[in-house]
Chain A
Amino acid sequence: MSSPSDVGHMEKFLRDRRDSGSKLLVAYITGGYRGWEAAVESAAAAGADAIEIGIPFSDPVMDGPVIQEASQAALETGATPASVLAAVPGLDTGVPHAVMTYYNLAHHPGHERFASTLAKSAIDAAILPDLPLVESGPWREAAANAGIETIMLAAPTTPDHRLPELCEASKGFVYAVGLLGVTGERAALAATATEIARRCKEVTDKPVLTGVGIGSPEQAVEASSVADGVIIGSAVVRRLLDGSGAEGVGDLVAAYRAALDAG
């Protein structure tokens, strides 16, 4: 269990909301994609409890077609880590921010430098899906020193004996990967989604959020029957790709919010 002193802003914020009886909703948006800033604000206004901002990377191996397309488009229009991060402090959200990107973008500038850039850019937490627990020590230490919470992913294949350590290492919340596979909406909630959340909840009292594969408000409710909430990514980004813009993103997030609030 964490001592209160190492509870960061993301975790504290989400714990408070959870403990007040709310299911948590985190929305992912690809930074640098046309209209992303307005979409972030609109997702927050529509009831997201935190925002995940993707920093596009050339080789997004954990992402399915929707987020790949948005990342590639953002890169083609010149998005860089610096350009995305520079915009974050100006966003009016009122909720914590995480970045979601790939490890080479932290490795290349160096852990300390990347972590301090995040901290200066109104970022609270980082998700690096290709940095598994076994390789994550040096980054997590540098991040913690800069006040950045590193959110770790627990996968359906993660064995029981590793889960306590993984949940202990995770800061902000624990990201329970809902299925075997990459990001993208699925027609039905995978059986693995509730199972991995249950296994995480057994070993941690940190917020446990299920992400990857959530494709409808109904699935979000189902996943949240065990988890403390959900992360929606491809569903949100699809609204940007299909031209629905910030308004479409806001409507979508509002629909998830309403479903989760209604239980």
Chain B
Amino acid sequence: MVMTDPNKEGRFGDFGGRFVPETLIPACEELEEAFREAWSDADFVEEFHRILRDYGGRPSPLTECYRLSEDLGVRVLLKREDLNHTGSHKINNVIGQALLARRMGKSRLVAETGAGQHGVASATAAALLDMECKVYMGEVDVKRQALNVFRMQLLGAEVETVTSGSKTLKDAVNEALRDWVATVEHTHYCLGSVMGPHPYPWMVRTFHHVIGDEAHEQCLKLMNKLPDVVVACVGGGSNAAGIFSGFSDTDARLVGVEPAGGAAVGRGVPGVVHGMASYLMQDEVGQVQEAESISAGLDYPGVGPEHAYLSAIGRAEYPAVTDQEVVEAFQLLSRTEGIIPALESAHALAWVVRESSSLQGQVVLLNLSGRGDKDVDQMMDVLGPGNIK
């Protein structure tokens, strides 16, 4: 198996680990233990899947894109994570972590968020399970994702605007970690991607494994074969890890698409921040650089350690697309299929469009990680009401 458990130090090859202040080490150990124990408890796993089904709307459908496929000459299948409750794949992970937190006797969740989707999902799970929830969000993102800020507040969460550093996802993670250092005894840090200290990258991927499992089965049912290519956008890399994990042992080509302004794997420089050794955008002395992307959810200079590993061993590839290509893909899917994608997910499509000449006749499974309602306001600014093609 390619996407197997990390070793006991939490490493995938050279990547991962547990680079957090000593204060948090016992909490990481406790979490790892609780997760191992819960995940081997059939009742826990059943409750997790029951909530994802009855509350989250799983399984998410597999949608064949007839018009788009004809346009591109590539058979495109969408895994519809946008149809989950709260509008993205993030709910899978959050239900898992919130159930685990409750099992561990923790009554409060803290979370970081970029696009606000993980924040909304966390606030939702907290409401469902009657927990307190505080979400840290960079000031830049609070502005460009105002709708999600209000959603979190409606759901009863407290949203704290982070004004340090780049005022985006990276700094929201710092602030959530600082909160957790102070509150670790009763608080669970509900981390939103396959990043952070062990066991998060592994645990979060495990909660998202359901995406890949379902898609694998759905592809077989639809086509009696597996796709040639599996593609997903990569911020921290959770939706990509989820869908890749259903295909990593097949012949499918795995493609994680990064934003050009946040291409951590693309630049390939190892570094350590936010609890993990991985690829990290840094300057020449090791200061972490600010990512710059039109999509708040991908505006992150690092990447989950398992993706660094998959890249290093050559199992997955991580190309980058530009904001301009993303804006076009965003409109293309809206027009041809009647599906407004999240800007994050539009990255995956942008790559398919760009590569379509080399993908002729192939089957591409694309993880549509979220829906674009949250981005409509921002896109009105970008495109202007009169400028829509």
Q: Which residues of A contact B (CB under 8 A)?
A: 57-62, 64, 68, 72, 75, 80-82, 103-105, 107-109, 129-135, 152-159, 166, 177, 179-182
Q: List 8 A-B pairs, Cβ < 8 Å.
A: A72-B164, A105-B285, A108-B271, A135-B18, A153-B21, A180-B181, A180-B185, A182-B178
The main secondary structure of chain B at its interface with chain A is mixed
Given contacts A72-B165, A130-B20, A153-B22, whether A61 and B185 have CB atoms under 8 Å apart is no
Whether, in the assembled complex, B184 has its beta carbon less than 8 Å from a beta carbon of chain A, the answer is yes
Number of A-B contacts (CB under 8 A): 117
Interface string of B13-55 (1 = CB under 8 A from A): 0000111111111110000000000000000000000000000
Say how far B139's CB is from chain A's closest CB, in angstroms. Answer: 14
Q: Which residue of A lies closest to B271 (CB)?
A: A104
B residues lining the A interface (CB < 8 Å): 9, 17-27, 164-165, 170-171, 174, 177-178, 181-185, 270-275, 277, 280, 282, 285-289
- Give A57 to B271 CA distance when docked, in angstroms: 13
Q: With the chains together, A134 CA to B343 CA distance in Å?
A: 39
Q: Do residues A107 and B271 form an inter-chain contact, with CB atoms below 8 A?
A: yes
In the complex, the chain A residue whose C-beta lies closest to that of B185 is: A180
Residues A132 and B165 in contact, CB atoms below 8 Å apart: no
Which residues of B are found within 8 Å of A75, using beta-carbon distances?
287
Determine whether the beta carbon of B21 is less than 8 Å from that of A61. yes
Lowest 4 CB-CB distances: which A-B pairs, in order?
Answer: A108-B286, A181-B182, A155-B23, A58-B287
Task: Indicate if the CB atoms of B288 and A62 lie closer than 8 Å.
Answer: no
Q: Which residues of A contact B20 (CB under 8 A)?
A: 61, 130, 132
The answer on a CB contact under 8 Å between B285 and A80 is: yes
Q: Are B184 and A180 in contact (CB under 8 A)?
A: yes
> Assuming the A-B contacts A130-B19, A135-B18, A177-B23, are A104 and B181 also in contact, with contact meaning beta carbons closer than 8 angstroms in the complex?
no
B181's partner among A57, A107, A132, A181 (CB-CB below 8 A) is A181
Once the chains bind, are B27 and A132 in contact (CB under 8 Å)? no
Complex partner residue of B288 from A58, A72, A179, A182, CB under 8 angstroms: A58
Q: Which residues of B contact A82 (CB under 8 A)?
A: 285
A108 engages B285 (CB within 8 Å): yes
> Would you call A81 and B273 a contact (CB within 8 A)?
no
- Distance between Cα atoms of A180 and B184 in the complex (Å): 8
Instruction: Report the Cα distance A182→B24, complex, angstroms.
Output: 12
| Among candidates A57, A58, A108, A158, residue contacting B25 with C-beta atoms closer than 8 Å | A158
Give the most central of A81, A103, A109: most B CB within 10 Å.
A103
B182 pairs with A180, CB closer than 8 A? yes
Residue pair B178, A81 in contact (C-beta under 8 Å): no
Q: Is the CB of B22 within 8 A of A132?
A: yes
Q: Least Cβ distance of A59 to chain B in Å?
A: 5
